[in-house]
Every structure is written in C-alpha cells, then in structure tokens.
Amino acid sequence: MTVKAVITDWGGVLTSPLNDAIGAWLAADGIDAERYRTVMRTWVKQAYDDGGGVNPIHGLEDGSLSPEEFERLLAAELLTVEGEPVAAAGLIARMFGQFSPVEPMYEALRAARAAGTRTALLSNSWGNDYPRELFADLFDAVVISSEVGMRKPDERIFRHAVELLGLTPAECVFIDDIEHNIRAAEAIGMHGIHHTAADTTIAELRGMGLLP
C-alpha cells in the first residue's frame, strides 16, 4: 500500500539529541551525573521494558502526574557533585534548555507536506515547551501524550494519530529515536524509521517517494 503520511516524534528527531541536552544540564547545574543515570535507568526500564507500569515517567507522559510533581520526585533522587540538594522548581525547563531545532528535518516535513503527504506529530510530553507557533504550517494533526491520556508505546496512541489523518496504519510511516516505539508502531502495521541522524532519515523518506 502506498505511504501517504509521515508521523514523527519531536524530541530527538526534530530537535538535537536528548543526551546532549541532558549532558549540558547536568554540567550547568553541577549534578552528580552517575546518580542521575542510575535513577533514570530504573525509571525508563519500568516505563518501557516492563510494559509501562506506573512510575514517574509513565505518569508524566500520560498526564496522570503533573510536571511539578515529577520535578519534585526527580529532584529528591538527585544531588550535586558537592552533595547538595537539587532545586525542583524549573527542573524540566533546565533539562530541555539546550534543545535546538534540526532544520533539515523541518524542511523535509514541509517539502513532504507541500507534495501532498499528510503529516502529524506524535510526542511523549515531559512537560516541556513545544514550538506550537510552527505547528500549523508543519502538521495536519498533533498528538501530545499528556493531552490525550495515552503514551507511546501504547498501540492506542498510534491508532489515534492514524485516525486523525483519516488513514490506515499501513499508509503511515512513523519516525522516532526510541527503537521500542518503532517496534510498537510496526506491530500495528505502520512503517517504521528508527531515527539516528537527519540525513539517513531523509534518505529513507526519499526512498519511499515522500520527498523529491
């Protein structure tokens, strides 16, 4: 079946890599990096590898936990390299403060849409700010996890995005930098692109005939 739509993640696909932003934040706030990574490995495993049981990441992404409470819970687990507590207020903004747009990916989406391809955003929100002023020119549909009460890799959120476009899963390609989410999309019949770099993702879209 012909692919008629591109559905894309935001953080790590349309932005610079998450690990780069996190590294800059840890350094700027003087946070014990190994302590942070130990906490996040546990939370991510619970949220993804163990089927998405209730934990802070799961709650933050599906909207059942407020960003402020997530900040409080995470800050309580962290220390600075000097052993001091970490300020909870504004923690999420500081974490994502070094995100920058990946202009080639934005240009590819605009080119695909101009050529008649439907486009959608499908993002697991961490309470961060999105460049919403750009969305009207980029997307036919926007699905942000905390606003719909579902999160990737739940198949329901993929189906919801597809339905908003008026298409079937087989008519959509999904781009994400997390392989677990790609596998979940493919399980319902979508085409998957595991994003590692803009040039390779753009080449795959071109190979599907979605870009000139």
pLDDT per position in the chain (212 positions), as tens? 799 999 999 999 999 999 999 999 999 999 999 999 999 999 988 887 755 556 899 999 999 999 999 999 999 999 999 999 999 999 999 999 999 999 999 999 999 999 999 999 999 999 989 999 999 999 999 999 999 999 999 999 999 999 999 999 999 999 999 999 999 999 999 999 999 999 999 999 999 999 98
110, containing H or E segment: helix 103-114
Domain ranges in the chain? 5-16+100-207, 18-95
Q: What is the pTM of this model?
A: 0.94
193, containing H or E segment: strand 191-194
CA distance readout (Å), 31 to 26, 76, 83, 84, 126: 5, 12, 9, 9, 19
**For residue range 100-156, what is the model confidence (pLDDT) as tens digits?**
999 999 999 999 999 999 999 999 999 989 999 999 999 999 999 999 999 999 999
Distance CA 173, CA 4 (A): 8
Residue 193 β-bridge partners: 175
* Average of per-residue pLDDT values in the chain: 95
> Which class is 5-16+100-207 in CATH?
alpha beta
Q: Token pair of 205, please?
A: 């879209």
